[in-house]
Structure 1
Amino acid sequence: MTLLTERPIDKKLPSEKIPQEAFDWYDEYAHGDIDRRTFLSRLGTLSVTGLTLSVVAGALTPNYALAEQVSFNDPDITASYVEYDSPNGHGKARGYLVIPKQVNTNNKAPAILVAHENRGLNPYIEDVARRLAKAGFVAFAPDALFPLGGYPGNDDEGRAMQKTLDGNKIEGDFMDAATLLKNHDLSTGKVGMVGFCYGGYLTNALAAAMPDTIHAGAPYYGTPAKSNVDKIKAPLQLHFAELDTRVNGTWPDYENNLKANKVDYTAYVYPKANHGFHNDSTARYQEKNAELAWQRTISFFKKSLNA
Structure 2
Amino acid sequence: MPMSRRTLLKGFTAGGFAAAASPVLAQAITTPSDGLEEGRVFVDVGDDDMFAYRAYPKGKKNAPVILVVPEIFGVHAYLEDVCRRFAQAGFYALAPEIFFRHSEPGQYATVAAILENVIAKMDDKQVMADLDKCVEFAGTEGADVKKLAVTGFCWGGRITWLYAAHQPAVKAGVAWYGRLVGAKTELTPRHPVDVAAQLKAPVLGLYGSEDSSIPLDTVEQMRKALAAADNNPFAKASSITVFDKAQHGFHADYRPTYNSTAAKQAYNQALEFLRGKNLI
Q: How does 1:149-298 map to 2 (within 5 A)?
A: 150-152=104-106, 156=110, 158-159=114-115, 161-163=117-119, 165-168=121-124, 169-181=126-138, 184-187=141-144, 189-210=146-167, 212-224=168-180, 225=192, 227-247=194-214, 248-261=216-229, 262=232, 263=235, 264-298=237-271
* TM-aligned CA distance change 1:187 to 1:154, over 3 Å: farther
Q: 1:170 aligns to what SS in structure 2?
A: helix
**Unaligned regions of 5+ residues in structure 1, if any?**
1-59
Aligned to 1:56: none
> Does structure 2 conserve the Cα–Cα contact (< 8 Å) formed by 1:118 and 1:198?
yes
Task: State the 1:186 CA deviation.
Answer: 2.3
Task: State the 1:226 CA deviation.
Answer: 5.9
Structure 1 Cα separation of the partners of residues 103 and 118 of structure 2: 11
Q: 2:44 aligns to what SS in structure 1?
A: strand
Q: 1:185 aligns to what SS in structure 2?
A: coil
TM value normalised by structure 2: 0.76
**Unaligned regions of 5+ residues in structure 2, if any?**
1-20, 181-191
Q: 2:65 aligns with which of 111, 114, 124?
A: 111
Q: 2:106 aligns to what SS in structure 1?
A: coil
> Does structure 2 conserve the Cα–Cα contact (< 8 Å) formed by 1:220 and 1:238?
yes
Structure 2 Cα separation of the partners of residues 110 and 190 of structure 1: 5
The count of residues paired between Structure 1 and Structure 2 equals 240
Structure 2 Cα separation of the partners of residues 231 and 151 of structure 1: 31
Aligned to 1:12: none
Return the letter of the residue paired with 1:254: M
Aligned to 1:16: none
Q: How does 1:11-160 map to 2 (within 5 A)?
A: 61-63=22-24, 66-71=27-32, 74-87=33-46, 91-104=48-61, 108-148=62-102, 150-152=104-106, 156=110, 158-159=114-115
Structure 2 Cα separation of the partners of residues 213 and 163 of structure 1: 27
Structure 1 Cα separation of the partners of residues 193 and 275 of structure 2: 28
The CA RMSD measured in Å over matched residues stands at 2.5
1:144-169 deviation line (CA, Å, top 9, x unaligned) = 23335645366636555423533233
> Quick one: percent identity of the two aligned structures?
26
* TM-aligned CA distance change 1:246 to 1:145, over 3 Å: closer
TM value normalised by structure 1: 0.70
Structure 1 Cα separation of the partners of residues 108 and 278 of structure 2: 34
> Does structure 2 conserve the Cα–Cα contact (< 8 Å) formed by 1:182 and 1:189?
no
Structure with the greater alpha carbon radius of gyration: 1
> Does structure 2 conserve the Cα–Cα contact (< 8 Å) formed by 1:144 and 1:150?
no
* TM-aligned CA distance change 1:166 to 1:286, over 3 Å: closer
1:237-272 deviation line (CA, Å, top 9, x unaligned) = 111100114323322222112112241112211111
